[in-house]
Each structure stands twice: as C-alpha cells, then as structure tokens.
Amino acid sequence: MLALALSLGDPAGIGPELIAACWAERQAADLPPFFVVGGARLLVAAAATRGIRLPVATITDPAQAAWCFADALPVLGELDGDYRPGQPDAAGARLALASLEQATALVTRQTAAALVTGPIAKAELAQVGFAFPGQTEFVAHACGVAADDAVMMLAGPALRTVPLTVHCALSSVPALLSVALIERRATIVAWAMQRDFGIAAPRLAICGLNPHAGEDGRMGDEEIRIIAPAIAALRAAGWDATGPHPADALFTPRARATYDVAIAMYHDQALIPLKALDFDQGVNVTLGLPVVRTSPDHGTAFGIAGRNQADPGATFAAIRMAAQLATRRAQA
C-alpha cells in the first residue's frame, strides 16, 4: 500500500507535536508508513517539547516515504515555518493551508493512499483567504464532490455518529432539514458502512430534533413533517433505518448495541456523546468521497500546545483508520 499523506494543521497548535509523537511510537502503536507535507524544521522543534529527538528525511516523491519511514519521519517538500506554540498568526495559517492543499492534491492524484488532516483554526485560515467552512468541504471540492454529498462521521471504539447539519447556528437547523437532505445523507452513510467498514446490512438509528423526539407534535413537528417521512423512504429503499429516536436515550450502552451508526440532526447532538465516550480516540472521517480522508476529532488546543500535555490517541486512531479504509477499498 502507498504511504499516507498527513497535513500539518496549524503549526501553533498541537498537531505538529502529535505527528512527531506518532512517528516516535510508530512500532508500539503499529502505525503504517506516512509522510508529512512540509514543516521539517518545525516538526523537529515541536518534537523537542515532548522530549523527542526526531530524525527527519526530506523526500521529493511520496513513493520514497516507505523506504525511510523506519528510520526517520518523511517530510515532503520545502514548506516550513517557525514553531511558535500557542501563538497563531497569518504565516502559520498560510503554511497550514499550503500543506493541506498539497496533501489533498497528492491523494486525489493517487500518489498517497489516504489523507489525514491536522487540526486547523478556521478563523485564522479565513484571514488568509480560505473560503470553506472547514476541511471537509475543502477536500470535497478538491474531489469534485458537492458539499452536501460529503458527510462528516465521527467514529470511536464505542460509537459512530453523523451530524446532518454541521457548522451553522442552532437556530438555523430546523429550516435546513428536509426529507431529501436526510434521505440523501443517510444513504451516503449506509453505502459507506458497506464499502468502507464492511458492514453488509448497516443499522441506522436516526435522532429526532426536539426533546422526546417531539412527543407526537407537542414539542415541535419536525419529526412528523420531515424526519419520519425520510425514515420511511429509507426503509422503502431497503435500508435498516429506525427512529425518530429521542436523542437523550440513544447513547446508553444498551441503545448503542442496537445500531451501527447514529444519525443526528445537528453538530452538538452528534459530537457531545462521541467526545464524552471516545474523546482521546475519536476520528473525523469524511464519507462520500472518492478518496479516504480522516482527522483526529479535536481542535488546535492552542492553550496546551508545546507543553507535552496533548494526548496523541486520536491521531493514532485517525492514521490507523485511514489505513484500514484505504486497504479495504484497494481490496474491493
């Protein structure tokens, strides 16, 4: 298998030090070969804050990564910058964007097996011309996929969950929901469960929007007007879809045993249970793309960057999941 491509993320955040930690623990964590796009000097400095002496091998071709991975962290290209943990600035945002652009291009050209993106600061990127709500939408655009067809799933050992609406105000959610949106995105999730996760008959549990899933219209009628008809359409298409489920009861251990993925109506409805259960092992994986893209499910954490406090577990998990999905696709 080809090596994985990693983008740096914001160099002032915890991304660079966690990449270094992953390489340092590559054997104990059983990680596949990967390379980083840019930041050789910066990564060495970030590694030092964790007491890691990081050997770096500058490469000019992704194919060289597997050859040197055992002895040094492969870094592709000459992009670099100063390491100033906890001090985001425009120069760092430009470096993060350039790394993301180049890493994405390598994966879309099939010169890397999958893309693992480091955490970014959306506000910082916006100031240097980044015109997308997040990395999910950027990668979808690079792949020629409509933003609505790129679905964000959060996955950990205890739970997989999908928010149908993502980075928008909570007050906007009811107007954004439609039968067509739920049916289309849930279908993409079901296809991905089959193709990427090897689940032949995926079980989809679909949340209600309102408390108690609306309680027969007493607390809102979106369940009656929108969510239940979408579930009926999914079932008519042959998918095992249930709901609308009250979200407050859907994430208990007993409930989680009854489904393969929970589909939520908005961001926090999906991310709060995932982070409560699997914070240090949570992975953001984009479904519906022709390439594999994952990311650790945490942010830049500027407040602890460079202090050797960040847990690398989610980055380990993102790298492992990217390799697993890429391998399954290659074998299909």
Domain residue spans in the chain? 1-146+289-332, 151-286
Q: What is the predicted pLDDT for the residue at 118?
A: 97
Enter the DSSP assignment of 227. I
Q: What is the predicted pLDDT for the residue at 1?
A: 82
Name the residue with tokens 């479904």: 287
Query: Does the annotation flag 275 for ligand binding?
Result: yes
Nearest Cα to Cα of residue 204 among 285, 287, 262: 262
Query: Does the annotation flag 308 for ligand binding?
Result: no
Identify the CATH homologous superfamily for domain 151-286.
Isopropylmalate Dehydrogenase (3.40.718.10)
Distance of CA 135 to the CA centre of its chain: 9
What is the mean pLDDT for each group of 10 consecutive residues in the chain (332 residues)?
Answer: 96 97 94 97 98 97 96 96 95 96 97 97 91 92 93 96 93 96 97 96 97 90 96 98 96 97 97 94 96 95 96 96 95 82
Do 205 and 258 touch, CB atoms closer than 8 A? yes
Tell me if 1-146+289-332 shares its fold with 151-286.
yes
Q: What is the predicted pLDDT for the residue at 204?
A: 98
Nearest Cα to Cα of residue 285 among 180, 139, 74, 108: 139
Query: Does the annotation flag 141 for ligand binding?
Result: no
Name the residue with tokens 């739970």: 159
Judged on CB neighbours under 10 Å (0-12, 13-18, 19+), 249 is exposed
Query: Does the annotation flag 212 for ligand binding?
Result: yes
Query: Does the annotation flag 136 for ligand binding?
Result: yes
Do 47 and 54 touch, CB atoms closer than 8 A? yes
**CATH architecture entry for 1-146+289-332:** 3-Layer(aba) Sandwich (3.40)
Strand partners, 261: 204
